């Protein structure tokens, strides 16, 4: 089957608030940059467009109808994936692999600052007749689900609260070198441990602050990619997986991520992730999620990620850097754009365009997304710069 | 154990006979017998109007209808956008339109959102404003005109709220009426 590569990337900076533009104007900015980067005209050169968005985040029903204008997709094939950006990327890969399309655009954005009742919308994602009434009865913040998962993860794996706190320290420090990331700062493990408990053992600084922003990626079939750009970044494998939605049915392991990784690795021919992968970008809306996700990727044995993080293995100059972008904790929780933000960083690193945070000698990187509380859906993509 | 046919559920002792196919309100007692959950989603938003629509709304407050011109295709877009969706390029300049135009299409609506009959039919439609291309997206109410008179191609003009009542909303225009009335 045909190869698929990323030939263009564009984004807006990620910011806590973006009142100066509406979401259409935000998306237009990112799209213009992506098309410029790819050297294409969307009105002529793109066969299909995909947006990744969820009605409740946007506040529009049937949001898919609003997506064409700002992408240059009017009167062109266009559809919306109700999910994270990497799921849209998977759709794009399939459209090219099958030969249906040659060039496909994927977009995801967050304008989450405009949702005034975030917690209540998250609550609407709970089972409406069983789980949601339990949340409403005592008006408990829905992030207690993350507290449940973290508690079990710590208990089953022996991971410590200090190790989780160290994730925050590393991410926020990495973010200082990323001009796109709004939440970079220097802090200590004690700062994190001393921040107020939200849903014990989860602490305030372990929760990624939300951000607005947009990411647009342009994909092309291998032979076209080689013509369009100097350094196409190939998507060697992509996988996705969903657990049962029952919150109380989850275990300590991020099974959705593990299965998604297995699917992606099989396509990419990855049998020994530690040997074959140079760095990773993973969703870490909650600090412990980075450790759990790194284990799901097979980059650490279960329960070992926290210890290895303290040893420096996942730092920028470590053996296997994780979240050089700053991750969600440093770059912001971009809701459905989270997966594309992770993919964007992988592409920039593999192209050698990551500026001050550039990792040396990287050839293969992996991106992992998760849809956030209360979901059990994840996706994994393996990217490679072919020499 | 053999499964009971599904339809049985409606006829068992707990639920009584099937509901009236014509539709009727359940009695309080019947409603109490049906396990269900009532919830009111709490979803509130504060959408930024954006660069183009913000200027447009400010214009309405001053009694002006503003559009954006795209020199790529020559169209004046109203309501304005900062990019032309056909050419996929930023639009170029602000243009003030006279406000007059013609009816492109209309409908006489006899029901409200709850499907109740309304006393006065509501006239809604789209307008091709003078100075802008047809089918540009301008929509409003019609007034001072009967449903029988209203027709496609009818020249119309805006009826503004008094200056002190205008707040920067599309409702700063009350409606469009036949021109010269």
Residue in B43, B51, B86 nearest the CB of A59: B43
Q: How confident is the model at residue A135 (pLDDT cuts 50, 70, 90)?
A: confident
Contact B44 A72 (CB under 8 A): no
* Helices A287-296 and A144-157, axial angle in degrees (round to 10): 50
pLDDT tens-digit series, residues A193-215: 999 999 999 999 999 999 999 99
User: Under an 8 Å CB criterion, which residues of A touch B?
Assistant: 18-25, 28, 35, 41-43, 56, 59, 68-70, 72, 74, 111, 114-117, 120-121, 124, 128-129, 132-133, 136
Determine, yes or no, domain membership for B135.
Answer: yes
Q: How many domains does chain B have?
A: 1
pLDDT in tens, chain B (181 residues): 444 444 444 445 666 665 555 677 788 898 888 888 888 899 999 999 999 999 999 999 999 999 999 999 999 999 999 999 999 999 999 999 999 999 999 999 999 888 889 999 999 999 999 999 999 889 999 999 999 999 999 999 999 999 999 999 999 999 999 998 7
Where are the domains positioned within chain A? 4-115+210-228
Are the beta carbons of B67 and A148 closer than 8 angstroms?
Answer: no
Residue in B36, B47, B53, B81 to test binding to A, most A beta-carbons within 10 Å: B47
Q: Which domain holds residue B166?
A: 50-178
- DSSP annotation string for A315-374: STTSSS-B-TT-HHHHH-B-GGGHHHHHHHHHHHHHHT--GGGPPTT--EEEEEEE--TT
Looking at the domain assignment, is residue B165 inside a domain? yes
> What CA–CA distance (Å, rounded) separates A13 from A211?
10
Cβ A114 vs Cβ B45: under 8 Å = yes
* Residue A112 contacts residue A57 (beta carbons within 8 Å): yes
Is B30 contained in some domain? no
Residue B43 lies in a domain: no
Q: Which residue in B41, B48, B82 is closest to A124 by CB distance? A: B41
Give the gap in angstroms from C-alpha A312 to the nearest C-alpha of chain B.
42
Which residues of chain B have a Cβ shorter than 8 Å from any chain A Cβ? 36-37, 39, 41-53, 81-83, 85-88
Q: Rounded to an integer, what distance in angstroms lies between the CA atom of residue A2 and that of residue A9?
A: 21
CA angle B5, B8, B9 (to 5 degrees): 115
A225-276 tens-digit pLDDT: 999 999 999 999 999 999 999 988 889 999 999 999 999 999 999 999 999 9
Closest Cα of chain B to A115: distance in Å?
A: 5
In the CATH hierarchy, which fold is given to the domain comprising A4-115+210-228?
A: Peroxisomal Thiolase; Chain A, domain 1 (3.40.47)
A318 burial (CB, 10 Å; 0-12 / 13-18 / 19+) is middle
Residue B81 maps to a domain: yes
- What average pLDDT does chain A have? 97
């Amino acid at each position: 089957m045909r190869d698929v590569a990323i030939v263009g990337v564009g984004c807006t900076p990620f910011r806590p608030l973006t009142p100066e533009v509406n979401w259409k104007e935000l998306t237009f900015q990112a799209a213009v940059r992506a098309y410029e980067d790819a050297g294409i005209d969307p009105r002529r050169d793109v066969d299909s467009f995909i947006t990744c968005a969820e009605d409740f985040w946007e506040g529009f029903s049937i949001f898919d109808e609003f997506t064409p204008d700002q992408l240059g997709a009017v009167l062109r094939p266009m559809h919306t994936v109700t999910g994270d950006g990497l799921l849209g990327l998977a759709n794009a890969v399939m459209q090219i692999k099958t030969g249906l399309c040659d060039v496909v655009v994927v977009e995801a954005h967050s304008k989450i600052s405009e949702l005034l009742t975030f917690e209540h919308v998250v609550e609407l994602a709970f089972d409406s007749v069983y789980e949601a009434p339990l949340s409403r009865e005592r008006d408990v913040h829905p992030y207690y689900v993350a507290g449940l998962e973290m508690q079990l993860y710590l208990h089953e794996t022996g991971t410590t609260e200090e190790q989780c706190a160290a994730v925050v320290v590393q991410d926020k420090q990495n973010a200082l070198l990323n001009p796109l990331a709004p939440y970079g700062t220097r802090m200590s493990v004690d700062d994190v441990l001393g921040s107020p408990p939200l849903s014990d053992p989860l602490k305030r600084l372990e929760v990624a602050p939300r951000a607005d922003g947009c990411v647009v990626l342009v994909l092309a079939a291998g032979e076209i990619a080689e013509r369009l750009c100097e350094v196409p970044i190939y998507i060697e494998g992509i996988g996705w997986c969903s657990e049962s939605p029952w919150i109380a049915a989850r275990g300590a392991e991020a099974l959705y991520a593990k299965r998604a990784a297995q699917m992606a690795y099989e396509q990419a021919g990855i049998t020994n992730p530690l040997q074959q992968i140079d760095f990773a970008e993973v969703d870490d809306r909650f600090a412990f999620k980075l450790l759990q996700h790194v284990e799901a990727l097979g980059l650490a044995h279960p329960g070992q990620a926290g210890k290895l993080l303290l040893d420096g293995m996942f730092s920028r100059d470590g053996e296997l850097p994780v979240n050089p972008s700053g991750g969600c904790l440093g770059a912001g929780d971009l809701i459905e754009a989270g997966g594309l933000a992770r993919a964007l960083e992988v592409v920039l690193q593999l192209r050698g365009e990551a500026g001050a945070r550039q990792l040396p000698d990287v050839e293969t990187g992996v991106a992992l997304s998760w849809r956030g509380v209360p979901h059990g859906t994840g996706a994994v993509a393996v990217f490679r710069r072919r020499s | 154990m053999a499964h009971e046919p599904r339809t049985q559920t409606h006829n068992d002792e707990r639920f009584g006979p099937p509901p009236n196919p014509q539709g009727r309100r359940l009695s309080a007692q019947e409603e109490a017998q049906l396990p269900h959950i009532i919830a009111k989603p709490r979803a509130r938003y504060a959408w930024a109007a954006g660069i183009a629509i913000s200027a447009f709304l400010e214009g309405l407050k001053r009694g002006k209808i503003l559009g954006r011109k795209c020199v790529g295709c020559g169209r004046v877009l109203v309501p304005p956008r900062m990019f032309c969706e056909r050419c996929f390029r930023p639009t170029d300049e602000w243009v003030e339109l006279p406000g007059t135009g013609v009816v492109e299409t209309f409908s006489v609506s006899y029901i409200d959102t709850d499907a109740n009959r309304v006393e006065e039919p509501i006239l809604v439609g789209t307008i091709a404003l003078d100075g802008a291309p047809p089918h540009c997206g301008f929509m409003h109410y019609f007034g001072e005109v009967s449903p029988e008179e209203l027709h496609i191609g009818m020249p119309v003009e805006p009826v503004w709220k008094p200056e002190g009542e205008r707040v920067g909303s599309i409702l700063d225009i009350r409606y469009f009426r036949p021109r010269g009335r």
